[in-house]
Amino acid sequence: MKPETLTFFDKVYEVARCIPFGRVTSYGAIAKYLGAAKSARMVGYAMNGSHGKDVPAHRVVNRKGLLTGKHHFEGTNLMQQLLESEGITVKDNQIQNFEQVFWDPAKVM
DNA sequence: CTCTTGACTGAGG
DNA sequence: GCCTCAGCCAAGA
């Protein structure tokens, strides 16, 4: 990869890979961790390019714990199944016990 | 170069 | 708690 390509996007991928099993985080949490809390949209946008990478995008949801990006996955419920496979309860595209499974990147670091 | 859109969020009503 | 507005930055037309 070219150094010029090392941007906010690459940092997002890096943090996303650090998300532990059975945990989730929000776009804003990642953005804030990167020092660009107001660029949460870029995190989601970056996820658009997460295909072909080891980025567990299904573990990244919006601040409400809603699976806003499920439409970007192959199936209509693939994202939900992936989360449920990790022990996360999902109901109506929304993560239950969100605070319980929420993972803060800054908290680990 | 300009305009629109988007996997978002926080503040205000 | 829900709706609306503005800010953010990048990619595509």
Angle, vertex CA A108, rays to CA A97 and CA A7, nearest 5: 100
User: Which residue from A88, A81, A79, A36 is spatially nearest to A56, judged by alpha carbons?
Assistant: A79
Cβ contact A46 with chain C strand, < 7 A: no
Q: How far apart are CA A41 and CA A44, in angstroms?
A: 5
Q: Cβ(A19)–Cβ(A25) under 8 Å?
A: yes
CA at A39, C1' at C7: how many angstroms apart? Answer: 9
Count other Cβ atoms within 10 Å, centred on residue A57. 22
Please state the length of chain A: 109
Q: How far apart are CA A28 and CA A14, in angstroms?
A: 15
pLDDT in tens, A12-42: 999 999 999 999 999 999 999 998 888 899 9
pLDDT in tens, A54-109: 999 999 999 999 999 999 998 889 999 999 999 999 999 999 999 999 999 988 76
- Per CATH, domain A3-108 is 1.10.10.10: yes
**DSSP for residue A24:** B
Predicted confidence band at A6 (pLDDT cuts at 50, 70, 90)? low
Which nucleotides along chain C are within 7 A of a protein C-beta? Answer: 7-11
pTM of the model: 0.91
CA at A47, C1' at B9: how many angstroms apart? Answer: 17
